[in-house]
Amino acid sequence: MASRDAARPNVVFVVADDLGSWALGAYGNEAALTPTLDGLSAGGVRLDRFFCTSPVCSPARASMLTGQIPSQHGVHDWIAAGHGGPTGVDYLAGRTTLDALAAAAGYRVGLSGKWHLGASDQPREGFVHWFAHESGGGPYFGAPMFRGRERLSVEGYLTDALADDAIAFVESEAERGAAEPFLLHLHFTAPHSPWVDSHPQELVALFEDRELRSWPEEPPHPWLLLHNKEVAAAVVEPERSLQGYFAAVAGLDRALGRVLGSVESLGLTESTLVVFVSDNGFNCGQHGIWGKGNGTFPQNMFDTSVLVPGIFSQPGRIPPGSSSALLSGYDVLPSLVEYLGLDWEVPLSLPGRSFAPLLGGSGGRDAGGGHVVVFDEYGPVRMLRTAEWKYVERRAGPDELYDLATDPHETCNLAGMALHAEREACLREELRRWFARYVDPANDGFALPVNGLGQVHPSTPGHPAGFVPFPED
Protein backbone atom coordinates (compact mmCIF):
# COMPACT_ATOMS: atom_id res chain seq x y z
CA MET A 1 0.00 0.00 0.00
CA ALA A 2 2.83 2.43 0.84
CA SER A 3 1.80 5.38 2.97
CA ARG A 4 -1.52 7.11 2.32
CA ASP A 5 -0.98 9.42 5.28
CA ALA A 6 0.19 12.92 4.34
CA ALA A 7 1.57 13.40 7.85
CA ARG A 8 3.78 10.31 7.47
CA PRO A 9 4.71 10.63 3.82
CA ASN A 10 6.67 8.49 1.45
CA VAL A 11 9.80 10.22 0.17
CA VAL A 12 11.28 10.36 -3.31
CA PHE A 13 14.72 11.89 -2.73
CA VAL A 14 16.13 12.88 -6.12
CA VAL A 15 19.78 13.90 -6.50
CA ALA A 16 21.22 15.20 -9.76
CA ASP A 17 24.94 15.08 -10.50
CA ASP A 18 26.81 18.30 -11.38
CA LEU A 19 23.68 20.39 -11.87
CA GLY A 20 23.87 24.09 -11.18
CA SER A 21 20.58 25.77 -10.37
CA TRP A 22 21.29 28.21 -13.21
CA ALA A 23 20.59 25.38 -15.72
CA LEU A 24 16.89 24.93 -14.84
CA GLY A 25 13.83 26.73 -16.12
CA ALA A 26 12.53 27.00 -12.57
CA TYR A 27 15.56 29.15 -11.76
CA GLY A 28 15.15 31.42 -14.77
CA ASN A 29 16.99 29.68 -17.62
CA GLU A 30 14.79 30.04 -20.68
CA ALA A 31 16.99 27.72 -22.74
CA ALA A 32 16.41 24.73 -20.45
CA LEU A 33 13.67 22.22 -21.22
CA THR A 34 12.64 21.08 -17.74
CA PRO A 35 8.83 21.01 -17.56
CA THR A 36 8.72 18.37 -14.80
CA LEU A 37 11.02 20.31 -12.48
CA ASP A 38 9.39 23.60 -13.39
CA GLY A 39 6.02 22.16 -12.41
CA LEU A 40 7.42 20.63 -9.25
CA SER A 41 8.85 24.01 -8.30
CA ALA A 42 5.63 25.88 -9.08
CA GLY A 43 3.65 23.52 -6.84
CA GLY A 44 6.17 23.37 -3.99
CA VAL A 45 8.89 25.38 -2.31
CA ARG A 46 11.90 26.48 -4.32
CA LEU A 47 15.03 27.29 -2.34
CA ASP A 48 16.82 30.09 -4.16
CA ARG A 49 19.97 30.19 -2.02
CA PHE A 50 20.68 26.56 -1.24
CA PHE A 51 24.36 25.58 -1.15
CA CYS A 52 26.21 22.29 -1.21
CA THR A 53 28.66 21.68 1.65
CA SER A 54 31.52 20.94 -0.73
CA PRO A 55 31.69 21.61 -4.48
CA VAL A 56 32.38 17.99 -5.41
CA CYS A 57 30.11 14.96 -5.30
CA SER A 58 31.09 12.47 -2.58
CA PRO A 59 31.64 14.96 0.29
CA ALA A 60 28.43 16.80 -0.56
CA ARG A 61 26.39 13.59 -0.68
CA ALA A 62 27.87 12.37 2.59
CA SER A 63 26.90 15.65 4.23
CA MET A 64 23.28 15.46 3.12
CA LEU A 65 22.98 11.94 4.53
CA THR A 66 24.80 12.58 7.82
CA GLY A 67 24.27 16.28 8.51
CA GLN A 68 28.03 16.52 9.06
CA ILE A 69 30.56 18.67 7.28
CA PRO A 70 33.43 16.91 5.47
CA SER A 71 35.78 17.65 8.37
CA GLN A 72 33.46 15.57 10.53
CA HIS A 73 32.60 12.61 8.29
CA GLY A 74 36.05 12.50 6.68
CA VAL A 75 35.10 12.37 2.99
CA HIS A 76 37.07 15.24 1.45
CA ASP A 77 37.07 14.51 -2.27
CA TRP A 78 35.25 12.42 -4.82
CA ILE A 79 35.93 8.76 -4.13
CA ALA A 80 38.34 7.16 -6.58
CA ALA A 81 38.81 3.75 -4.96
CA GLY A 82 37.12 1.34 -2.56
CA HIS A 83 34.07 0.88 -4.78
CA GLY A 84 33.71 -2.84 -4.08
CA GLY A 85 35.20 -6.27 -3.78
CA PRO A 86 37.81 -7.13 -1.15
CA THR A 87 39.09 -3.53 -1.19
CA GLY A 88 35.63 -2.03 -0.82
CA VAL A 89 35.27 0.67 1.84
CA ASP A 90 32.06 1.94 3.42
CA TYR A 91 33.04 5.56 3.96
CA LEU A 92 30.02 6.21 6.20
CA ALA A 93 30.45 3.14 8.40
CA GLY A 94 29.41 3.81 11.97
CA ARG A 95 27.76 7.15 11.21
CA THR A 96 24.13 8.03 11.81
CA THR A 97 22.44 8.61 8.46
CA LEU A 98 19.06 9.67 7.21
CA ASP A 99 18.53 6.14 5.90
CA ALA A 100 19.22 4.49 9.24
CA LEU A 101 16.90 6.90 11.05
CA ALA A 102 14.14 6.36 8.51
CA ALA A 103 14.51 2.58 8.57
CA ALA A 104 14.35 2.61 12.38
CA ALA A 105 11.10 4.55 12.10
CA GLY A 106 9.56 1.92 9.83
CA TYR A 107 10.45 3.34 6.42
CA ARG A 108 11.33 0.92 3.64
CA VAL A 109 14.45 2.39 2.08
CA GLY A 110 15.56 1.89 -1.51
CA LEU A 111 18.30 3.12 -3.83
CA SER A 112 18.18 3.53 -7.60
CA GLY A 113 21.34 5.09 -8.96
CA LYS A 114 24.53 6.71 -7.80
CA TRP A 115 25.85 6.01 -4.30
CA HIS A 116 29.55 6.92 -4.65
CA LEU A 117 30.30 6.54 -0.96
CA GLY A 118 32.25 3.30 -1.26
CA ALA A 119 31.41 -0.42 -1.31
CA SER A 120 28.67 -0.06 -3.90
CA ASP A 121 28.40 -3.87 -4.05
CA GLN A 122 27.23 -4.04 -0.43
CA PRO A 123 23.59 -3.10 0.22
CA ARG A 124 23.51 -0.98 3.35
CA GLU A 125 21.67 -2.08 6.46
CA GLY A 126 18.04 -0.99 6.40
CA PHE A 127 17.77 -0.90 2.60
CA VAL A 128 15.19 -3.24 1.09
CA HIS A 129 16.15 -2.31 -2.47
CA TRP A 130 19.67 -1.70 -3.83
CA PHE A 131 20.42 -0.79 -7.45
CA ALA A 132 23.72 1.06 -7.24
CA HIS A 133 26.17 2.33 -9.81
CA GLU A 134 29.47 0.49 -9.46
CA SER A 135 31.54 3.64 -8.99
CA GLY A 136 29.79 6.95 -9.43
CA GLY A 137 29.74 7.88 -13.07
CA GLY A 138 30.88 7.05 -16.58
CA PRO A 139 29.23 6.17 -19.89
CA TYR A 140 25.47 6.49 -20.13
CA PHE A 141 25.17 3.27 -22.11
CA GLY A 142 26.31 -0.10 -20.75
CA ALA A 143 26.68 1.31 -17.23
CA PRO A 144 27.95 -1.13 -14.57
CA MET A 145 25.45 -1.53 -11.72
CA PHE A 146 24.88 -3.73 -8.70
CA ARG A 147 21.43 -5.13 -8.06
CA GLY A 148 21.94 -6.24 -4.53
CA ARG A 149 25.33 -7.96 -4.73
CA GLU A 150 24.99 -9.00 -8.37
CA ARG A 151 26.98 -7.01 -10.91
CA LEU A 152 25.31 -6.36 -14.26
CA SER A 153 25.54 -4.08 -17.26
CA VAL A 154 22.57 -1.86 -17.99
CA GLU A 155 21.08 -2.09 -21.43
CA GLY A 156 20.01 1.22 -22.88
CA TYR A 157 20.27 4.77 -21.58
CA LEU A 158 21.15 4.85 -17.90
CA THR A 159 18.89 7.79 -16.99
CA ASP A 160 15.88 5.89 -18.32
CA ALA A 161 16.99 2.65 -16.67
CA LEU A 162 17.13 4.36 -13.29
CA ALA A 163 13.63 5.71 -13.81
CA ASP A 164 12.41 2.22 -14.78
CA ASP A 165 13.93 0.78 -11.62
CA ALA A 166 12.45 3.53 -9.46
CA ILE A 167 9.00 2.97 -10.95
CA ALA A 168 9.25 -0.76 -10.31
CA PHE A 169 10.17 -0.07 -6.68
CA VAL A 170 7.29 2.37 -6.15
CA GLU A 171 4.81 -0.03 -7.74
CA SER A 172 6.02 -2.95 -5.64
CA GLU A 173 5.69 -0.85 -2.48
CA ALA A 174 2.18 0.21 -3.44
CA GLU A 175 1.20 -3.44 -3.96
CA ARG A 176 2.35 -4.49 -0.51
CA GLY A 177 -0.34 -5.28 2.03
CA ALA A 178 1.23 -3.14 4.75
CA ALA A 179 1.13 0.65 4.80
CA GLU A 180 4.74 1.39 5.67
CA PRO A 181 6.08 4.52 3.97
CA PHE A 182 9.03 4.25 1.64
CA LEU A 183 12.12 6.40 1.18
CA LEU A 184 13.46 6.08 -2.36
CA HIS A 185 16.85 7.51 -3.23
CA LEU A 186 16.71 8.23 -6.96
CA HIS A 187 20.22 9.43 -7.72
CA PHE A 188 20.84 10.20 -11.38
CA THR A 189 24.32 10.46 -12.89
CA ALA A 190 22.99 13.21 -15.19
CA PRO A 191 24.11 15.73 -16.22
CA HIS A 192 27.69 14.69 -15.32
CA SER A 193 30.05 14.16 -18.27
CA PRO A 194 30.36 12.61 -20.81
CA TRP A 195 28.27 15.04 -22.84
CA VAL A 196 29.21 14.58 -26.52
CA ASP A 197 27.80 11.56 -28.39
CA SER A 198 26.48 10.20 -25.08
CA HIS A 199 22.75 10.95 -25.05
CA PRO A 200 19.78 9.92 -27.18
CA GLN A 201 19.71 11.90 -30.40
CA GLU A 202 16.13 13.01 -29.84
CA LEU A 203 17.30 14.83 -26.70
CA VAL A 204 20.36 16.38 -28.31
CA ALA A 205 18.29 17.53 -31.31
CA LEU A 206 16.15 19.66 -28.99
CA PHE A 207 19.12 21.97 -28.48
CA GLU A 208 20.78 22.04 -31.88
CA ASP A 209 19.09 25.31 -32.89
CA ARG A 210 18.59 26.68 -29.40
CA GLU A 211 20.50 29.60 -27.92
CA LEU A 212 22.15 28.05 -24.88
CA ARG A 213 24.52 30.73 -23.63
CA SER A 214 23.10 32.97 -20.92
CA TRP A 215 26.45 34.23 -19.62
CA PRO A 216 29.38 36.13 -21.12
CA GLU A 217 31.99 34.08 -22.92
CA GLU A 218 35.16 34.26 -20.88
CA PRO A 219 38.72 33.14 -21.59
CA PRO A 220 39.92 30.02 -19.75
CA HIS A 221 40.50 30.66 -16.07
CA PRO A 222 44.21 30.77 -15.17
CA TRP A 223 43.62 27.96 -12.65
CA LEU A 224 41.64 25.79 -15.08
CA LEU A 225 42.34 22.05 -14.89
CA LEU A 226 41.79 19.87 -17.93
CA HIS A 227 40.89 16.75 -15.96
CA ASN A 228 39.79 14.72 -18.95
CA LYS A 229 39.17 14.82 -22.67
CA GLU A 230 35.56 15.91 -22.15
CA VAL A 231 36.63 19.11 -20.42
CA ALA A 232 39.40 19.73 -22.94
CA ALA A 233 36.91 19.36 -25.80
CA ALA A 234 34.41 21.67 -24.08
CA VAL A 235 36.99 24.43 -23.76
CA VAL A 236 37.84 24.21 -27.48
CA GLU A 237 34.32 23.58 -28.84
CA PRO A 238 31.79 24.48 -26.17
CA GLU A 239 28.59 24.31 -28.24
CA ARG A 240 28.51 20.52 -28.62
CA SER A 241 29.25 20.06 -24.93
CA LEU A 242 26.54 22.54 -24.00
CA GLN A 243 24.06 20.62 -26.16
CA GLY A 244 25.05 17.40 -24.42
CA TYR A 245 24.81 18.97 -20.97
CA PHE A 246 21.35 20.39 -21.59
CA ALA A 247 20.27 17.14 -23.27
CA ALA A 248 21.31 15.26 -20.13
CA VAL A 249 19.27 17.67 -18.00
CA ALA A 250 16.26 17.27 -20.30
CA GLY A 251 16.62 13.49 -20.12
CA LEU A 252 16.67 13.62 -16.33
CA ASP A 253 13.57 15.81 -16.34
CA ARG A 254 11.76 13.44 -18.71
CA ALA A 255 12.70 10.41 -16.61
CA LEU A 256 11.61 12.06 -13.38
CA GLY A 257 8.31 12.92 -15.01
CA ARG A 258 7.69 9.24 -15.62
CA VAL A 259 8.47 8.39 -11.99
CA LEU A 260 6.16 11.08 -10.66
CA GLY A 261 3.51 9.95 -13.13
CA SER A 262 3.67 6.51 -11.57
CA VAL A 263 3.34 8.01 -8.09
CA GLU A 264 0.26 9.91 -9.27
CA SER A 265 -1.34 6.91 -10.98
CA LEU A 266 -1.03 4.96 -7.74
CA GLY A 267 -2.79 7.71 -5.80
CA LEU A 268 0.29 8.56 -3.72
CA THR A 269 0.96 12.16 -4.75
CA GLU A 270 -0.47 13.84 -1.65
CA SER A 271 1.24 11.35 0.65
CA THR A 272 4.64 11.62 -1.00
CA LEU A 273 7.30 14.23 -0.37
CA VAL A 274 9.48 14.86 -3.41
CA VAL A 275 12.90 16.35 -2.77
CA PHE A 276 15.01 17.49 -5.69
CA VAL A 277 18.60 18.62 -5.13
CA SER A 278 22.01 18.37 -6.76
CA ASP A 279 25.23 17.26 -5.14
CA ASN A 280 27.13 20.33 -6.35
CA GLY A 281 26.92 23.08 -8.93
CA PHE A 282 28.76 23.28 -12.23
CA ASN A 283 30.37 25.77 -14.58
CA CYS A 284 29.76 25.43 -18.29
CA GLY A 285 32.09 28.25 -19.23
CA GLN A 286 31.21 30.61 -16.40
CA HIS A 287 34.39 32.14 -14.98
CA GLY A 288 36.21 30.48 -17.86
CA ILE A 289 35.75 27.08 -16.19
CA TRP A 290 34.32 23.75 -17.27
CA GLY A 291 33.81 21.91 -14.01
CA LYS A 292 32.88 22.41 -10.39
CA GLY A 293 35.12 23.08 -7.38
CA ASN A 294 37.83 20.84 -8.76
CA GLY A 295 37.61 22.45 -12.18
CA THR A 296 40.46 24.63 -10.98
CA PHE A 297 43.50 24.25 -8.78
CA PRO A 298 43.44 25.72 -6.21
CA GLN A 299 39.83 24.64 -5.90
CA ASN A 300 37.21 27.34 -6.40
CA MET A 301 34.14 28.37 -4.41
CA PHE A 302 32.30 30.41 -7.02
CA ASP A 303 28.51 30.43 -6.60
CA THR A 304 28.21 28.55 -9.89
CA SER A 305 30.10 25.70 -8.18
CA VAL A 306 28.32 25.74 -4.83
CA LEU A 307 24.79 27.07 -5.50
CA VAL A 308 22.45 24.15 -6.21
CA PRO A 309 18.74 23.60 -6.80
CA GLY A 310 16.54 22.74 -3.87
CA ILE A 311 12.87 21.91 -4.54
CA PHE A 312 10.49 20.35 -1.98
CA SER A 313 6.99 19.35 -3.00
CA GLN A 314 4.06 17.63 -1.31
CA PRO A 315 0.72 18.90 -2.61
CA GLY A 316 -1.76 19.63 0.14
CA ARG A 317 0.93 19.94 2.80
CA ILE A 318 3.58 22.23 1.32
CA PRO A 319 2.08 25.47 -0.02
CA PRO A 320 3.66 26.88 -3.19
CA GLY A 321 6.35 29.48 -2.69
CA SER A 322 10.04 30.23 -2.66
CA SER A 323 12.62 31.13 -0.08
CA SER A 324 15.72 33.29 -0.23
CA ALA A 325 17.02 31.93 3.08
CA LEU A 326 20.69 30.97 3.10
CA LEU A 327 20.59 27.19 3.48
CA SER A 328 23.07 24.34 3.16
CA GLY A 329 23.26 20.64 2.47
CA TYR A 330 24.11 20.14 6.13
CA ASP A 331 20.59 21.44 6.93
CA VAL A 332 18.89 18.63 4.98
CA LEU A 333 19.11 15.91 7.66
CA PRO A 334 17.67 17.94 10.56
CA SER A 335 14.98 19.34 8.24
CA LEU A 336 13.79 15.91 7.11
CA VAL A 337 13.98 14.54 10.65
CA GLU A 338 11.53 17.25 11.71
CA TYR A 339 9.34 17.10 8.61
CA LEU A 340 8.99 13.31 8.73
CA GLY A 341 8.57 13.23 12.50
CA LEU A 342 11.51 10.89 13.08
CA ASP A 343 12.22 10.19 16.72
CA TRP A 344 15.74 11.59 16.99
CA GLU A 345 17.13 14.63 18.71
CA VAL A 346 19.61 16.43 16.49
CA PRO A 347 22.89 16.60 18.42
CA LEU A 348 24.56 19.96 19.03
CA SER A 349 27.65 18.62 17.27
CA LEU A 350 25.83 18.94 13.94
CA PRO A 351 26.06 22.37 12.29
CA GLY A 352 22.72 22.31 10.49
CA ARG A 353 19.34 23.61 11.56
CA SER A 354 15.93 22.56 10.34
CA PHE A 355 14.23 24.55 7.63
CA ALA A 356 11.10 22.39 7.90
CA PRO A 357 9.05 25.47 8.94
CA LEU A 358 9.72 26.91 5.48
CA LEU A 359 8.01 23.89 3.98
CA GLY A 360 4.95 24.58 6.06
CA GLY A 361 4.69 28.14 4.87
CA SER A 362 6.17 29.86 7.94
CA GLY A 363 9.42 31.77 8.22
CA GLY A 364 11.85 29.18 9.52
CA ARG A 365 15.38 30.41 9.05
CA ASP A 366 14.04 33.40 7.10
CA ALA A 367 12.35 34.69 10.23
CA GLY A 368 13.97 37.30 12.44
CA GLY A 369 16.55 38.49 9.91
CA GLY A 370 19.96 38.85 11.49
CA HIS A 371 23.32 37.59 10.32
CA VAL A 372 22.77 34.31 8.48
CA VAL A 373 25.78 32.49 7.09
CA VAL A 374 26.51 29.28 5.21
CA PHE A 375 29.89 27.59 5.14
CA ASP A 376 31.64 25.38 2.62
CA GLU A 377 34.88 23.44 2.50
CA TYR A 378 36.98 21.50 0.04
CA GLY A 379 40.14 20.23 1.67
CA PRO A 380 42.39 23.23 2.35
CA VAL A 381 39.84 25.71 0.98
CA ARG A 382 37.02 27.11 3.13
CA MET A 383 34.26 29.58 2.43
CA LEU A 384 31.91 31.79 4.39
CA ARG A 385 28.95 33.33 2.59
CA THR A 386 26.49 35.89 3.88
CA ALA A 387 23.69 37.49 1.89
CA GLU A 388 26.06 40.18 0.61
CA TRP A 389 29.62 38.95 1.12
CA LYS A 390 31.76 35.91 0.38
CA TYR A 391 35.12 35.18 1.95
CA VAL A 392 37.34 32.27 0.85
CA GLU A 393 40.37 31.21 2.89
CA ARG A 394 43.04 28.90 1.48
CA ARG A 395 45.74 27.01 3.31
CA ALA A 396 47.84 27.44 0.16
CA GLY A 397 46.89 29.98 -2.49
CA PRO A 398 45.22 33.38 -2.51
CA ASP A 399 42.25 34.27 -0.34
CA GLU A 400 39.19 35.88 -1.91
CA LEU A 401 36.66 38.48 -0.82
CA TYR A 402 33.64 39.45 -2.92
CA ASP A 403 31.00 42.14 -2.42
CA LEU A 404 28.06 40.19 -3.82
CA ALA A 405 25.71 43.17 -3.64
CA THR A 406 27.72 45.07 -6.25
CA ASP A 407 29.57 42.14 -7.84
CA PRO A 408 27.19 39.15 -7.94
CA HIS A 409 29.27 37.35 -10.56
CA GLU A 410 32.39 37.44 -8.38
CA THR A 411 34.69 39.18 -10.81
CA CYS A 412 36.61 41.54 -8.50
CA ASN A 413 38.60 40.00 -5.63
CA LEU A 414 38.81 42.53 -2.79
CA ALA A 415 40.99 40.41 -0.49
CA GLY A 416 44.10 42.19 0.67
CA MET A 417 42.77 45.66 -0.11
CA ALA A 418 43.19 48.17 2.70
CA LEU A 419 39.69 49.55 2.17
CA HIS A 420 38.18 46.17 3.09
CA ALA A 421 40.78 44.94 5.57
CA GLU A 422 38.51 45.22 8.61
CA ARG A 423 35.64 43.35 6.98
CA GLU A 424 38.01 40.67 5.70
CA ALA A 425 39.49 40.19 9.17
CA CYS A 426 36.03 39.90 10.74
CA LEU A 427 34.84 37.34 8.21
CA ARG A 428 38.06 35.36 8.59
CA GLU A 429 37.63 35.24 12.35
CA GLU A 430 33.99 34.18 12.02
CA LEU A 431 34.90 31.42 9.58
CA ARG A 432 37.68 30.11 11.82
CA ARG A 433 35.48 30.14 14.94
CA TRP A 434 32.75 28.19 13.16
CA PHE A 435 35.05 25.48 11.87
CA ALA A 436 36.84 25.26 15.23
CA ARG A 437 33.45 24.52 16.77
CA TYR A 438 32.44 21.74 14.42
CA VAL A 439 35.60 20.11 13.03
CA ASP A 440 36.61 16.67 14.26
CA PRO A 441 40.39 17.05 14.57
CA ALA A 442 40.89 13.47 13.33
CA ASN A 443 39.07 14.35 10.09
CA ASP A 444 40.21 17.93 9.58
CA GLY A 445 40.42 18.52 5.85
CA PHE A 446 42.14 21.90 6.10
CA ALA A 447 45.37 20.06 6.94
CA LEU A 448 45.14 17.95 3.78
CA PRO A 449 46.49 19.13 0.43
CA VAL A 450 43.48 17.65 -1.40
CA ASN A 451 44.20 18.03 -5.10
CA GLY A 452 40.75 17.34 -6.53
CA LEU A 453 41.79 14.10 -8.18
CA GLY A 454 39.99 11.68 -5.91
CA GLN A 455 39.99 10.41 -2.35
CA VAL A 456 41.43 6.92 -2.10
CA HIS A 457 41.33 4.22 0.55
CA PRO A 458 41.86 5.90 3.94
CA SER A 459 44.90 4.72 5.84
CA THR A 460 43.56 6.43 8.95
CA PRO A 461 40.14 8.03 9.45
CA GLY A 462 39.91 11.16 7.36
CA HIS A 463 43.49 11.00 6.05
CA PRO A 464 43.64 9.38 2.61
CA ALA A 465 46.68 7.30 1.79
CA GLY A 466 49.15 9.25 -0.30
CA PHE A 467 47.98 12.61 1.07
CA VAL A 468 50.59 14.07 3.41
CA PRO A 469 49.17 16.58 5.90
CA PHE A 470 50.47 20.13 5.67
CA PRO A 471 53.21 20.79 8.22
CA GLU A 472 52.14 22.65 11.31
CA ASP A 473 52.30 26.42 10.94
Query: What are the tens digits of pLDDT across the range 393-411?
Result: 999 899 999 999 999 999 9
Span 10-366: which CATH code? 3.40.720.10
Give the model's pLDDT for residue 174.
97
Give the model's pLDDT for residue 203.
98
Give the model's pLDDT for residue 213.
82
- Give the start-to-end residue ranges of the domains of the chain: 10-366, 374-464
Query: What are the tens digits of pLDDT across the range 422-431?
Result: 999 999 999 9
When pLDDT is cut at 50, 70 and 90, the band that residue 460 belongs to is low
3-state secondary structure the chain: CCCCCCCCCEEEEEEECCCCHHHCHHHCCCCCCCHHHHHHHHHCEEEEEEECCCCCHHHHHHHHHHCCCHHHHCCCCCECCCCCHHHCCCCCCCCCCHHHHHHHCCCEEEEEECCCCCCCCCCCCCEEEEEEECCCCCCCECCEEEECCEEEECCCEHHHHHHHHHHHHHHHHHHCCCCCCEEEEEECCCCCCCCCCCCCHHHHHHHCCCCCCCCCCCCCCCCECCCCHHHHHHHHCHHHHHHHHHHHHHHHHHHHHHHHHHHHHCCCHHHEEEEEEECCCCEECHHHCEECHHHECCCCCCHHHHEEEEEEECCCCCCCEEECCCEEHHHHHHHHHHHHCCCCCCCCCCCCCCCHHHHCCCCHHHCCCCCCCEEEEECCEEEEECCCEEEEEECCCCCEEEECCCCCCCCCCCCCCHHHHHHHHHHHHHHHHHHHHHCCHHHCHHHCCCCCCCECCEEECCEECCCCCCCCC
Give the model's pLDDT for residue 396.
87
When pLDDT is cut at 50, 70 and 90, the band that residue 361 belongs to is low
Give the model's pLDDT for residue 368.
35
* pLDDT average, residue stretch 127-146: 97
Compare 442 and 367 and report the one with higher pLDDT: 442
When pLDDT is cut at 50, 70 and 90, the band that residue 367 belongs to is very low
The CATH class given to the 374-464 domain equals: alpha beta
When pLDDT is cut at 50, 70 and 90, the band that residue 246 belongs to is very high
Q: Is the pLDDT of residue 458 over 80?
A: no
